[in-house]
């Protein structure tokens, strides 16, 4: 969430920057400033009313002490009116504060200068490409056919017990899935990320804290009776561990990693892009997150990109890195790098990770601050990335490592799964 003080100071600059998202943000920014002026005006009136009430209360006490009860009682009638006025102003102030917050919740983050202009994912900028695409056997198959052939993932069984988008992993498919989770966690902890296990449901405040609410409310599974949400990513519960906290400078940076299942409704998804593991309602993901000093967050983002790159290179998968354009940038992000692996049998690139810097956008929602020496308190910067999302990594492994009558396992995963091929 943008800070109203920053909007007041940089309104024109923000409006220009948000054009990269292909939106005219000027009316929203003006509306926020107008509501803030209303809030400040009401606050000033309330302060004046309370000050006058306190002054009269002191005067009444002095009058009673000096035996001037008649004069004191006359002033008490005036204070009764001031109390009613202050009560009304307090209600107006609450409404103005809530109204301002609702407006600010609807304004996306400001893209960094390096974010390219564009409307669609085809406008994303290719930063680097490592297309060591293997030459497959003549009868190469997509992963959903391989899953059926080797009986390692059952999409129909998942549809039977839950519905489409909830696959059942079996035999070596289940073991390879578990191997990937452990491998990702080990790579992350070796790089200095502390492993965290968190709940898979969150309350509404957590959803607002990281920006999934109200922006993606329709994409989240909601447990109505308990007013809880199934998490769309570990980013939500892990980042919210520090909601409302005041950190010390020595606490930074904070680096965390965690494995969770993720739940997404994916409303409106259809066609070939949702076949097999391409798009699921439930999937596994290992996340990395950082809380940084503002001066260090850009360097931290670069380091996270290098870390994810190293994992993909160790798995020997063809991949590329994209810098997302303004039209494809997530609501809360100021800069995002996407990693895509190449699906050889499908002949297309599949996104497997987004690594993002949110700067103060989430921290302002979370009220996450740190003591910055003599400069008082300051909002921290938050970052997160997938390291990695499993479905499309698994799909890419199955397709790129397939042979005539078996599928090889990447060397890095053999110690984790205990076998070197699927047959």
The answer to whether 115 is a known ligand-binding residue is no
Q: How far apart are CA 128 and CA 323, in angstroms?
A: 10
The answer to whether 352 is a known ligand-binding residue is yes
Could you tell me if 22 and 326 are in contact, meaning their C-beta atoms sit under 8 angstroms apart?
yes
DSSP state of 143: H
Of 344, 279, 338, 283, the C-alpha closest to 308 is: 338
Helix (H) or strand (E) holding 32: helix 26-65
Helix (H) or strand (E) holding 376: none
The answer to whether 265 is a known ligand-binding residue is yes
The answer to whether 168 is a known ligand-binding residue is no
DSSP state of 275: S
* The total number of residues written for the chain in this structure: 423
Report CA dihedral (267, 268, 273, 279) to the nearest 10 degrees: 0
Q: How far apart are CA 233 and CA 285, in angstroms?
A: 7
Hey, what are 212's tokens?
Answer: 């999934």
Q: How far apart are CA 280 and CA 168, in angstroms?
A: 12
Report CA dihedral (274, 276, 277, 280) to the nearest 10 degrees: 50
User: Please, what sign has the CA dihedral across residues 83, 84, 88, 89?
Assistant: negative
The answer to whether 279 is a known ligand-binding residue is no
The answer to whether 55 is a known ligand-binding residue is no
The answer to whether 354 is a known ligand-binding residue is yes
Q: How far apart are CA 121 and CA 295, in angstroms?
A: 30
Could you tell me if 107 and 29 are in contact, meaning their C-beta atoms sit under 8 angstroms apart?
yes
The answer to whether 233 is a known ligand-binding residue is yes
Per-residue b/e over 196-230, b at no fewer than 16 CB within 10 Å?
bebebbbeeebbbbbbbbebbeeebeeeeeeebbb
Q: How far apart are CA 47 and CA 421, in angstroms?
A: 73
Hey, what are 239's tokens?
Answer: 């980042």
DSSP state of 349: E
Could you tell me if 244 and 199 are in contact, meaning their C-beta atoms sit under 8 angstroms apart?
no
Report CA dihedral (414, 256, 239, 177) to the nearest 10 degrees: 10
Output the known binding site for L-serine: 233, 264, 287, 384
Output the known binding site for ATP: 264-266, 351-354
Output the known binding site: 233, 264-266, 287, 351-354, 384
């Amino acid at each position: 969430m943008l800070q109203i003080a920053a909007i007041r100071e940089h309104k024109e600059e923000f409006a220009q920057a948000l054009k990269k998202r292909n939106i005219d943000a000027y009316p929203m920014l003006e509306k926020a400033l107008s509501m803030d002026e209303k809030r400040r005006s009401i606050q000033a009136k309330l302060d004046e009313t309370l000050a006058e009430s306190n002054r009269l209360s002191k005067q009444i006490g002095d009058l009673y002490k000096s035996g001037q009860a008649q004069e004191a009682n006359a002033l008490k009638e005036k204070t009764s009116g001031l109390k009613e006025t202050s009560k009304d102003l307090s209600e107006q102030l609450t409404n103005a504060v809530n109204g301002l917050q609702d407006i600010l919740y609807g304004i996306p983050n400001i893209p960094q200068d390096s974010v390219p202009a564009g409307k669609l994912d085809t406008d994303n900028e290719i930063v680097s490409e490592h297309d060591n695409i293997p030459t497959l056997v003549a009868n190469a198959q997509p992963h959903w056919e391989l899953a059926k052939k080797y009986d390692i993932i059952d999409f129909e069984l998942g549809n039977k017990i839950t519905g489409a988008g909830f696959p059942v992993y079996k035999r070596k498919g289940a073991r390879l899935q578990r191997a990937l989770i452990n491998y990702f966690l080990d790579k992350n902890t070796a790089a200095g990320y502390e492993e965290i296990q968190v709940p898979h449901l969150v309350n509404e405040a957590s959803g607002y804290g990281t920006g999934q609410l109200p922006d993606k409310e329709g994409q989240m599974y909601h447990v109505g009776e308990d007013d809880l949400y199934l998490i769309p990513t570990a980013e939500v519960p892990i980042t919210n561990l520090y909601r409302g906290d005041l950190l010390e400078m020595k606490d930074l940076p904070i680096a965390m990693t965690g494995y969770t299942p993720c739940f997404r409704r994916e409303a409106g998804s259809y066609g070939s892009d949702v076949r097999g593991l391409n798009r699921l309602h439930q999937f596994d993901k290992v996340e990395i997150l950082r809380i940084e000093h503002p001066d260090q967050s850009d360097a931290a983002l670069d380091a996270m990109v290098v870390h994810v790159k190293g994992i993909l290179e160790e798995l020997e998968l063809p991949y590329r890195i994209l810098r997302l354009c303004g039209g494809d940038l997530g609501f809360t992000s100021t800069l995002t790098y996407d990693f895509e692996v190449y699906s050889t049998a499908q002949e297309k690139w599949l996104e497997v990770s987004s690594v993002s810097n949110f700067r103060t956008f989430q921290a302002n929602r979370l009220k996450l601050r740190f003591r910055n020496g003599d400069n008082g308190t300051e909002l921290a910067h938050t970052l997160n990335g997938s390291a990695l999302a499993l479905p499309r990594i698994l799909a890419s492994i199955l397709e790129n490592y397939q042979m005539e009558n078996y599928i090889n396992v990447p060397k890095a995963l053999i110690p984790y799964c205990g076998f070197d091929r699927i047959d």
